[in-house]
Amino acid sequence: MAKQILLIEDEPNIIEAISFILSRDGWDVATHANGETAMDAIARHAPDVLVLDVMLPGRSGYEILQDVRGRAETAHIPVLMLTARGQKKDRETADRLGVTRFMTKPFSNAEVLSALREITGAA
């Protein structure tokens, strides 16, 4: 059975690119673009893995990650966090909040696939 991925990203080009490469690789991809309602989307989709942008409308990816890790029903979900801001403090914040993997934009298709396979055990 295909792994369920929820991509929370507000940039249409990135949504399209990641959805395409993951679907082509056999993943079942759902997308969501609003930080304010992200936790509802996570509850609704019950993903095996979460791909989360840092900068989202409504709430930041960091706030969402903190909520994900703070709830028993979602704390186990691996999270690949994407950001255009790859400064040391951004990585440290993500690590402190419990990110599984942190990746800076731009990234290659192969990097995203490799990271997701690794963190989900699908390698």
Which region holds residue 113: left if phi is over 0, alpha if psi is between -120 and 50, else beta? alpha
Whether residue 53 contacts residue 13, with contact meaning beta carbons closer than 8 Å, is answered with: no
Full domain range(s) for residue 48? 4-101
% pLDDT > 90, the chain: 82
Asked whether residue 109 is domain-assigned, the answer is no
The amino acid at residue 91 is R
Looking at the structure of the chain, the number of domains it has is: 1
Q: pLDDT tens digits, residue range 60-113?
A: 999 999 999 999 999 999 999 998 876 889 899 999 999 999 999 888 889 999
Asked whether residue 56 is domain-assigned, the answer is yes
What's the CA gap between 121 and 44, in Å, rounded?
Answer: 23
pTM of the complete model beyond 0.85: yes
Give the number of other Cβ atoms within 10 Å of residue 22's Cβ: 22
- Cis, peptide link before residue 106, omega less than 30° from 0: yes
CATH code at position 22: 3.40.50.2300
- What pLDDT sits at residue 121? 86
Asked whether residue 86 is domain-assigned, the answer is yes
Q: pLDDT tens digits, residue range 13-72?
A: 999 999 999 999 999 999 999 999 999 999 999 999 999 999 999 999 999 999 999 999
Asked whether residue 110 is domain-assigned, the answer is no
Please give the backbone phi and psi of residue 80, each rounded to the nearest 5 degrees, phi first.
-100, 115
